[in-house]
Amino acid sequence: MLNTNKTTEPRNEIDLMVQPISEFGKSKEEAMRLIKDLKVENSLMKDKLGFHDSPYNWAIYILTDQNDVEALEKHFYP
């Protein structure tokens, strides 16, 4: 999967992000692809403050960045 640069903290954060993305109708594989495509792990390694954001907030950020309006609308306007 993703490189953790010899630390488990980013890996744990990334694993926590998969579930909220799945709640927006994405599969685990799709969630991991989105996380990898956005280079979330690199971002977390550069800016430790990112760890203060909840996995749910990261899911919204990732889906918004990918312009996945359909997933966001289905979640917020069922």
pLDDT tens digits, one per residue of 50-65: 667 788 998 999 999 9
Contact between 28 and 18 under an 8 Å Cβ cutoff? The reply is yes
Predicted pLDDT at 28: 93
User: Rounded distance, CA 45 to CA 8, Å?
Assistant: 11
% of the chain beyond a pLDDT of 90: 45
pLDDT tens digits, one per residue of 3-13: 444 555 667 77
pTM exceeds 0.85: no
Predicted pLDDT at 27: 94
Contact between 59 and 52 under an 8 Å Cβ cutoff? The reply is no
